[in-house]
């Protein structure tokens, strides 16, 4: 009988959800990696796939940046409403 290893158990599991800052950093790293693939001396099919991935990731990255900015501003406004004085970072 042949034993097949369980590949699903090797996935990276996080105990708690990440925050927008973590997501932003991960997206940026992946964007840089895909950019290298797009500018490498690979075939045109691979370059087109990398270009498509770059466009998709760039759109996601912009949304995460916007959400991160809004989250920071909302936290500052909530702090002011609670009687604390925090600077709004824009």
Digit-coded pLDDT (tens) for 16-34: 667 788 888 888 999 888 8
Residue 37: band (very low, low, confident or very high) from pLDDT cuts 50, 70, 90 = confident
Residues sharing a CB contact under 8 Å with residue 26, sequence separation 6 or more, in sequence order: 18
Q: How is residue 55 written in tokens?
A: 């466009």
So where are the chain's domains? 19-81
pLDDT band at 14 (very low <50, low <70, confident <90, very high): low
pTM over 0.85: no
| Chain mean pLDDT for the chain | 78
């Amino acid at each position: 009988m042949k034993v097949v290893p369980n590949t699903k158990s090797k996935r990276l599991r996080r105990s708690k959800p990440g925050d927008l800052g973590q997501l932003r950093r991960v997206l940026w790293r992946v964007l840089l990696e895909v950019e290298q693939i797009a500018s490498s001396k690979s075939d045109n099919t691979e370059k087109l796939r990398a270009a498509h991935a770059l466009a998709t990731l760039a759109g996601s990255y912009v949304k995460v940046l916007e959400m991160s900015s809004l989250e920071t501003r909302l936290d500052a406004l909530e702090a002011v409403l609670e009687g604390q004085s925090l600077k709004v970072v824009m």
